[in-house]
Structure 1
Amino acid sequence: MARLTINQTNFTAGELSPRMLGRVDIARYQNGAEIIQNAWPLVHGGCTRRDGTLYAATTKFPAKRSRLIPYVFNKSQAYMCEFGDLYVRIFYPDGTYTGVELVSPYTEAMLSTIDYVQGADTMFIFNTQVPINRLRRIADLQWSLAPAPFVTKPFDEKGISFTTSATISDVTVGTGRTFTSSVSAFLAADVGREIWSGGGIAKITAVVSATVATVQVITVFPVTPMTAWSIKGSPQTTLTPSAVGTVGGIISLTLGAAGWRSDDVGKFVKVNSGLVEIQSVSSTTVVSGIVRGAITSAVASPANAWSVEGSVWNDIDGYPSTGTLHEQRLAAAGSPNYPQTIWESRTGEYLNFELGTKDDDAMSFTVSSDQINPITHMAQIKALIALTYGGEFSLTGGVEKPITPTNIQVKNQSVYGCNNVKPVRIGNELYFVQRAGRKLRAMAYKYDSDAYGAPDMSVLSEHATETGIIDMAYQQEPESILFLVRTDGVIATLTVDRDQDVVGWARQITDGQFESVASIPTATGEQMWVIVRRTVNGVQTRYVERFTSGIRVDCGISATSGPGASVWSGLAHLEGKTVDIVADGVVMQQQVVTAGQVTIPRNAFVVQIGLPFKTQIKTLTPEVQGNAGSAQGNSMRIAEVTLRFLQTTGCEINGQPVAFRNLGSQALDKPPVLFTGDHRMENLGWDRGQASLVIEQNQPLPFHLLCVIKKMTFND
């Protein structure tokens, strides 16, 4: 019979996967737990009861989903934005609603695919269905949300797109086919241009009327009639500028045949090494425009030597899905029809995407690979990073040089792919959720291989994220914790400090389902906010709440009364719910909220009232190597256990209460003295093949477990 003292000094490996319960041979088994629920492993080694949440507000539309997005100008001017179905509401850091509500173009269905980046007091918001919007704070109660007023958007020779019906007399390859549009579509200068629809291509050989053209079918059209089609290229005729024109001047552009259309206003014409933005259309042959790039000559330019180009950000091609700020440029990427294209603004001019070849000009380039990889997110660590559905790419200039229109290197670093969850940077690593939503990877530059690696941070605790991740945010202080919202409403937390080799997972559960998470800085660190779906009085509703240090209930209130009070109101949001009550530091009997209030037996000056939650830690069966080999599978008895606590009161071990408090005439109705030190318990019994402890904190009281010391007996 072997007698040993085993000390589990820390929980820095967090909650290990059930798949890992046989891996008693690895170091993380000794530092892990089978369950860590409603507690946080700490970098220092111990485990502490998680913070509770304070109620801030009910979402505007409780029956609809909403999303939290932080707006941070500096550490003293930070706000939380509630994005919902076609609205945005602004909150102060203390949870107070500012009263500011903005009209938003984002529907409930778009919220999960919104991306954003903020520079100073301007936030750019991206979604493929809506032009890039700009959220700005002018003053605390003055905000604006509107399409960003770009000086110039990226443009290309796109031709003209139609969403009206059209037919063709014969879809097969051949000449003399008749193409008929349901609306006026053709002009004389369209002869020589191509019609595209659904893979079919036809060249226009003659224009019969505004609605009828004769075409040569080059590639078979899959269907007729067609509902979407386009005329590619530029008008096939000469173009003559009225003057050479300097930048900012107004000139006219004349075609040799009818080719201008009313919707050409706002498009750009490249001619004779210059650039002209069309301001007005005088006729089908003459337009006026402002010179954006100096024209070198006023001579006529033949067909195909000039071009008319339109913005690639539009309702038909879609808008960028993501963006970031990099090297004083606004980078945008991932529109539906240009899924692998990245656009970068002029240096220092976020609203100017006029393409050029000078080092500070705007630019566009395509992330090329052997498969279609739509860009999902843009971010930066050591380099500009493009995260796509199928892989991760780094974008750099030359050696120690910035990216320029003539100097760009794109390298495929890995092929994991990512989902819609916005990546989070922690130190020098970029944390992103793999495309299936079940793995968390940390991308970082590796000096030994001169490449970027992205190891799986959830490999030993894959169960923590197995239902899928839909949102995440990072708290740097007071504890380094990454919050990940799962599809089932549980928050998986990752305590992470790579320098200390701490990667500790845990699960945070509440009476409801977490749906969104975000963080903003405060004077003492980052404050985590959540949107929680709860069922109250039989009705499903959604609340904006914030994790707050010192609060040990959920969806709670923290209230004070100078003269003291026994009736406490402000609880209408918890009508009919059973709540925990802490009055002047003393835990009172649970009560049911009635008419938005509760009544306690005596007057109190300070209370916390909210939903209860239970902290639970279940230790793993220890591994001991002896002369006969492993102790696994043997009869085990924990003869004595010593728990080392810090500032703790109220706890159970295997269902047995831990007596922290000494009763006496001076102890009643006073807060319990917090205990720091070792607490010993005996006679916990035998068990065949396992010797785990279940340590629970069921009360809204402080709990901080430092280590677990077991005196054990093993029998064959």
Structure 2
Amino acid sequence: MARLTLNQTNFTAGEVSPRMLGRVDIARYQNGAEIIENAWPVIHGGCVRRDGTLMCAPAKFPDKNCRLIPYVFNTSQAYMVEFGDLYVRIFFADGSYSGIELVSPYSHTMLDRMDYVQGADTMFIFNTTVPIHRLRRITNTEWSLAPAPFVTKPFDEKGIDFLTLFTISAPTVGVGRTVTAAEPAFLDADVGREIWSGGGVAKVTAVTSATVATVEVVNAFSATTRPTWSLKGSPQTTNTLSAFSPVGGVVTMTLGVPGWRSSDVGKFVKINGGLLEVTVYTSPTVVSGVIRTAPTSAVASPANAWSLESSVWNDVDGYPGAGTLYEQRLALGGSPNFPQTIWESRTGEYLNFELGTKDDDAISYNLSSDQINPILHIGQINALIPLTYGGEFTVSGGVEKAITPTNIRAKNPSVYGCNRVRPVRIGNELYFVQRAGRKLRAMAYKYDSDTFGSPDMSVLSEHATKSGIVDMAYQQEPESILYLVRADGVMATMTVDRDQDVIGWARQTTDGAFESAAAIPTGNGDQVWTVVRRTINGQNVRYIERFTADVRVDSGVNATSVEGATVWGGLGHLEGKMVDIVADGVVMQQQLVTAGQVTIPRKAFATSIGLNFKTRIKTLTPEVSGNTGSAQGNSMRIGEVTLRFLETIGCKINGQTIAFRDLGPQILDKPPVLFTGVHRLENLAWDRGQATLEIVQDQPLPFHLLNVIKKITIND
């Protein structure tokens, strides 16, 4: 019979996966737990009861999704933004609603496909189906959400897209085919251009009228009618400028035969080495334009020596779905028809994407790989990091060199792929969720291999991400914790400090389901907000709540009364629920909320009322190697347990209550003193093959467990 004293000094490995319960041979087993629920490991080693949540406001629509996005100008001017179905609402950092609501182009079904980046007081918002918008704070009471007023968008010679059908006399390869458009589409200068629809291609050989043209089918069409089609290339005729200077001047551009359309206004013309923006349509042969870059001359430019180009961001090709700010440029990517193209603005001019070859000109380039995977996110960690569905890329200008139009180096160091959850940067690592939504990876530069690596941070706690991750938020202070919202409504958390080798997973639950999370800085640290779906009085509701150490309940309300009161209201959002009540620091009996209020048996001057949640820590069966081998599988008895606490009130071990309060000088209707020290409990039972402890705090009171000392007897 072996009698040992075992000391678990910390819980920094967090909750380990059930798949790891047999791995008593690894170091993290000794520092882990089988269950850590509604608590989180801290970097110093202990486990702390998680913060409760304060009720801020109901979401605007209880039956539709909403999402929280932080808007941070500085630590004293930080706001939480609620994006919902075609609306935006602004909240102050103290949890109060500002009363400001803006009209939004984003429906509730689009919220999980939104990305954003903020610079100073301007936030750019990205979605592949909506033009890039800007959210701006003018004053605390004046905000705006509108399309970003780009000076120049990226453009290309992409032709014209028609969203109405056309009919071809014969879809097979051959000459003399007749194409009939459902709307006026053809001009004389279209002779020589190509019609594309699906896999079919036809070259225009003659224009009979605005709706009829003769073509030569080069690639067969799938049918005689097609719902949409495109006219590729530029007008096939000469283009003559009235002048070639000065920059900013307005000149006319005259075609040899009709080729201009009223829809050409806003497009760009590259001619004689210059660039002009079409501003006024006069006739099919004459338009006016502003000189953006001066041409070398005004001589007539023949067909194919000049081009008519339009923005690649449009309703047909889509819009960038991801972006970031990097090296004083706005970097964008991930549009549906240009899935692997990245555009970067001019240096210091976020709204100007005019391409060029100078170092500060805008840039456009493609990520090269053996698969076409759309860019889902763009981050940065000493390099620009485009993340795609199929792999991770790094883009730089070389060692200590900036990216320029003539100096771009893109690499593909790993092929894990990511999902739609926005990545989070922690220190010098970029944390992203792998494609299937289950693995959390940390991308960082590895000096030993001179490349970027992305190790799996959830490998020892893979169960913590069960059902998949749908949102993330990072709290840097007071504890370094990454919050990960799961699809099933559980909140997984990971306490992380790479310098101290701390990666501690835990699970947070509530009476309902977490749906979104975001963090903003305050004077006392970062504050995490969440959208919670609850069932109140048989109805589904959605609440905006924020985690805070000021409460030990969920969806809580803190209130005070100068004269004291027994009836406490303001609880309509918890109608019909049993709630925990802390009155002047003393836990009262649970009450049922009726008509938005509860009644307590005595007067109180300050109360904290909300939903109960239970903190639970279950230790692992210890492993001890001796002369006879492993302790696993033997009969074990924990004869005595010593728990070391810090500022704690209340605890149960394997169902037995530990007394934190003695009768005598402390009066029962006054709050107990926070306890720091050790408590011992004796005479726990024998068990075969295991010796675990379940430590529970089910009261809305502080709890901080530092370490667990077990006196254990092991029999063969």
TM-score range, shorter chain: over 0.9
Partners of 2:517 and 2:222 in 1: how far apart?
47
Q: Could you say what secondary structure the match of 1:332 adopts?
A: strand
Correspondence for 1:349: 349
Which residue is equivalent to 1:535?
Answer: 535
Alpha-carbon distance between aligned partners in 2 of 1:288 and 1:561, rounded to the nearest angstrom: 72
Letter aligned with residue 283 of structure 1: S
Question: Is residue 2:505 matched to residue 1:508?
Answer: no
Q: Tell me the residue number matched to 1:708.
A: 708
Q: Determine the structure 1 residue equivalent to 2:693.
A: 693
Q: Note if contact 1:165-1:227 (Cα within 8 Å) is conserved in structure 2.
A: yes
Residues 581-600 of structure 1 mapped to structure 2, 5 A cutoff: 581-600=581-600
Q: Helix, strand or coil: the match of 2:28?
A: helix
| Distance in 1 between residues matched to 2:587 and 2:93, nearest whole Å | 28
Match in the other structure for 2:479: 479
1:170 Cα deviation from its structure 2 partner: 1.4
- Post-superposition Cα deviations, 1:523-573, rounded to whole Å, max 9, x if no partner, equal 011000000000001110000000011310000101111111111110000
| Preserved contact between residue 441 and residue 457 of structure 1 (Cα < 8 Å) | yes
2:27 is aligned to 27
Deviations 1:600-620 (A, max 9, x none): 111111110000000000000
Deviation at 1:666, TM superposition (A): 3.8
Alignment of 1:69-88 (within 5 A): 69-88=69-88
Specify the alignment match of 1:276 in structure 2: 276
Does 2:604 correspond to 1:604? yes
Equivalent-residue separation in structure 1 for 2:75 and 2:426 (angstroms): 18
Q: Which residue of 1 aligns with 2:227?
A: 227
Equivalent residues in 2 for 1:350-365 (5 A)? Answer: 350-365=350-365
Q: Letter of the 2:226 partner, please give it.
A: M
Question: 2:491 maps to which residue?
Answer: 491
Residue deviations 1:567-586 (CA, integer Å, cap 9, x gap): 11100000000000000100
CA contact (8 A) 2:666 2:672 kept: no
Supply the AA of the counterpart residue of 1:254: T
RMSD: 0.7
Q: Tell me, in whole angstroms, the C-alpha distance in 2 between the residues paired with 1:478 and 1:129.
A: 39
In structure 2, what is the Cα distance between the partners aligned to 1:508 and 1:399? Answer: 43
Give the whole-Å Cα distance in 2 for the aligned partners of 1:270 and 1:561: 73
Alignment of 1:445-484 (within 5 A): 445-484=445-484
In structure 2, the residue matched to 1:620 is: 620
Partner of 1:482, secondary structure, is strand
Instruction: Report 1:20-419 matches (<5 A).
Output: 20-419=20-419
1:552 aligned residue: 552
- Once residues 416 and 291 of structure 1 are traced to their aligned partners in structure 2, the CA distance between those partners, rounded to angstroms, is 46
Aligned-residue offset at 1:398: 2.7
CA contact (8 A) 1:246 1:295 kept: no
Over 3 Å counting, the alpha-carbon distance change for 1:45 and 1:665 in structure 2 is: closer
Aligned pair in 2 of structure 1 residues 198, 457: CA closer, same or farther (>3 Å)? same
Q: Write the distance in 1 (CA, Å) between the matches of 2:612 and 2:659.
A: 21
**Equivalents in 2 of 1:224, 1:679: separation in Å?**
85
Contact kept, 8 Å, 1:572 with 1:595, in 2: the verdict is: yes
Please give the per-residue CA displacement for 1:16-69, whole angstroms capped at 9, x wherever unaligned: 000000100000000000000000100000000000000000011111110000
Q: How does 1:439-450 map to 2 (within 5 A)?
A: 439-450=439-450
Secondary structure of 1:378's match? strand
SS class of match (1:109): coil
Gaps of 5+ in 1: none
Deviations 1:380-411 (A, max 9, x none): 00101000010000000032110001110000
The Cα of 1:363 is off from its aligned counterpart by: 1.0
Partner residue of 1:518?
518
Q: Deviations over 1:153-186 (max 9, x none)?
A: 1100010001101111111111111111111111
- The answer (yes or no) to whether the contact 1:184–1:211 under 8 Å persists in 2 is yes
Distance 2:137 2:224 in 1: 51
Distance 1:491 1:172 in 2: 58
The CA distance in 2 between the partners of 1:444 and 1:240, in whole Å, is 54
Q: Deviations over 1:413-433 (max 9, x none)?
A: 100000110000000000000
| Structure 1 SS opposite 2:462 | helix
Q: Which residue identity does 1:118 align to in structure 2?
A: Q
Q: 1:278 to 1:59 in 2, by over 3 A?
A: same
Q: Contact 1:534 / 1:541 at 8 angstroms: preserved in 2?
A: yes
Residue number in structure 2 paired with 1:15? 15
CA distance in 2: counterparts of 1:481 and 1:219, whole angstroms: 58
Distance across 2 between alignment mates of 1:127 and 1:79:
22
Query: Deviations along 1:645-689, whole A, 9 cap, x unmatched?
Result: 111111100000011110126421010111111111111100000
TM-score by length of 2: 0.99
Q: Secondary structure at the match of 2:226?
A: coil
Q: Distance in 1 between matches of 2:222 and 2:250?
A: 45
- Amino acid of the structure 1 residue aligned with 2:192: G
Give the SS at the match of 1:302: coil
SS in 2 for 1:499: coil
Instruction: Give, as a single letter, the amino acid of the residue that structure 2 aligns with 1:182.
Output: A
Q: Could you tell me which amino acid in structure 2 is paired with residue 484 of structure 1?
A: L
Query: Contact 2:160 / 2:232 at 8 angstroms: preserved in 1?
Result: yes
Query: Shift of the alpha carbon at 1:295?
Result: 1.2
Secondary structure of 2:573's counterpart equals: helix
Matched, 1:427 2:465: no
Amino acid at match of 2:269: V
| Alignment pair present for 1:3 and 2:25 | no
- Equivalent pair of 2:190/2:207 in contact (CA under 8 Å): yes
Give the counterpart letter for 2:305 in structure 1: A
For 1:712, the aligned partner's letter is I
| Alpha-carbon shift at residue 106 of structure 1 (Å) | 0.4
The residue type equivalent to 1:542 in the other structure is R
How far apart are the structure 2 equivalents of 1:33 and 1:155?
56
Secondary structure, in 3 states, of the residue corresponding to 1:106? coil
Post-superposition Cα deviations, 1:458-492, rounded to whole Å, max 9, x if no partner, equal 00000000210000000000000000000000000
Is the Cα contact below 8 Å between 1:390 and 1:418 reproduced in 2? yes
Aligned equivalents of 2:235, 2:398: Cα separation in 1: 39
1:655 maps to 655
Aligned residue number for residue 568 of structure 2? 568
| Partner SS for 2:445 | strand
In structure 1, give the amino acid aligned to 2:610: G
Give the Å deviation of 1:506: 0.2
Which whole-Å CA distance do the structure 2 matches of 1:521 and 1:271 have between them?
51
Task: Among all aligned residue pairs of Structure 1 and Structure 2, give the percentage whose two residues are the same amino acid.
Answer: 75
Distance 1:666 1:257 in 2: 99
Distance in 2 (alpha carbons) for counterparts of 1:193 and 1:376: 34
Find the aligned partners of 1:224 and 1:581 in 2 and give their Cα distance: 74
Secondary structure, counterpart of 2:387 in structure 1: strand
1:88-140 per-position Cα deviation (integer Å, ceiling 9, x unaligned): 00000010000000000000011011100000000000001110000000100
Is the contact made by 2:195 and 2:231 (CA closer than 8 Å) also made in structure 1?
A: yes
* C-alpha distance in 2 between matches for 1:134 and 1:465: 33
Once residues 267 and 446 of structure 2 are traced to their aligned partners in structure 1, the CA distance between those partners, rounded to angstroms, is 45
Counterpart code for 1:515: E
Report whether the alignment pairs 1:634 with 2:600.
Answer: no
Please tell me whether the aligned partners of residues 259 and 284 of structure 1 are also in contact (alpha carbons under 8 angstroms): yes
Residue deviations 1:505-528 (CA, integer Å, cap 9, x gap): 000000000000000000011000
Q: In the alignment, is the contact (CA less than 8 A) between 1:334 and 1:341 conserved in 2?
A: yes
CA contact 2:200–2:222 (8 Å) conserved in 1: yes
